[in-house]
Amino acid sequence: MSTVLYITAHPNETEASYSLAVGKQFLEAYQAANPNDDIVHLDLFKMDIPRLDADVFSAWEKLGSGTAFNELSNAEQTKVARLGELVDQFVEADKYVFVNPTWNFSYPPVLKAYIDSICVAGKTFKYTDKGPVGLLDNKKAIHIQASGSALSPGSDYADFEIGHRHLDVIMKFIGVPSFEAIFVEGMAAAADQARQIKENAIQQAWNLARTF
């Protein structure tokens, strides 16, 4: 049995989101193919995700120099403990499904905050004399991203897109060997084709879910 983290970064409900609608279909297909797997939904807009701020950096510095956890300030303890929970949950899972819209060629800031919480030395990567090495080499990930314009590799505006490309870099950095993408794109540029674009993405989601 595998544990899947279904990670969504959209403030709206499924009915008002192309990415969430495709993600929902992906989950249904995945559950049909893997009825015994455990799926955990992380709605990032409804979660406590500490930002990396002065409290966090201060706490990490103190802990690194030998200060006991209970000697940290209340704010430092709360934030560092929560960040620890998030990265431990990520490490313990087997598969990841990231779902988000495109905002200004990237993903919503809350997803960046989550990524910051799971990129932790000793947990998801380690430093070596040859540079950093990812530790999650037995995981799989899929990215479902929607955008009003076509931004996927090969499109005219692919060079503008930095959300999926950044997530791809992060997956490589932490060692995830399998990372696939479903782009739900072009609905604003070709409004008359929006329904077909969505249906094509759903079909792709169903196909990928059966082998994920």
Q: What is the pLDDT of residues 94-129, one digit of tens each?
A: 999 999 999 999 999 999 999 999 999 999 999 999
Average pLDDT over residues 72-95: 98
Listed by start position, the domains of the chain span: 3-210
Q: What is the reported pTM?
A: 0.96
CATH architecture designation of domain 3-210: 3-Layer(aba) Sandwich (3.40)
Write down the pLDDT at residue 67: 97
Write down the pLDDT at residue 92: 98
Write down the pLDDT at residue 91: 98
Give the pair of three-digit tokens for residue 99. Answer: 């779902």
Residue pointed to by tokens 């959209």: 10
| Per-residue H/E/C for the chain | CCEEEEEECCCCCHHHCHHHHHHHHHHHHHHHHCCCCEEEEEEHHHCCCCCCCHHHHHHHHHHHCCCCHHHCCHHHHHHHHHHHHHHHHHHHCCEEEEEEECECCECCHHHHHHHHHHCCECCCEEEECCEEEECCCCCEEEEEEEECCCCCCCCCCHHHCCHHHHHHHHHHHCCCCEEEEEEEECCCCCHHHHHHHHHHHHHHHHHHHCCC
Give the pair of three-digit tokens for residue 10. Answer: 């959209």
The pLDDT tens digits for 53-76 are 999 999 999 999 999 999 999 999
Annotated binding site for FMN: 17-19
Write down the pLDDT at residue 194: 93
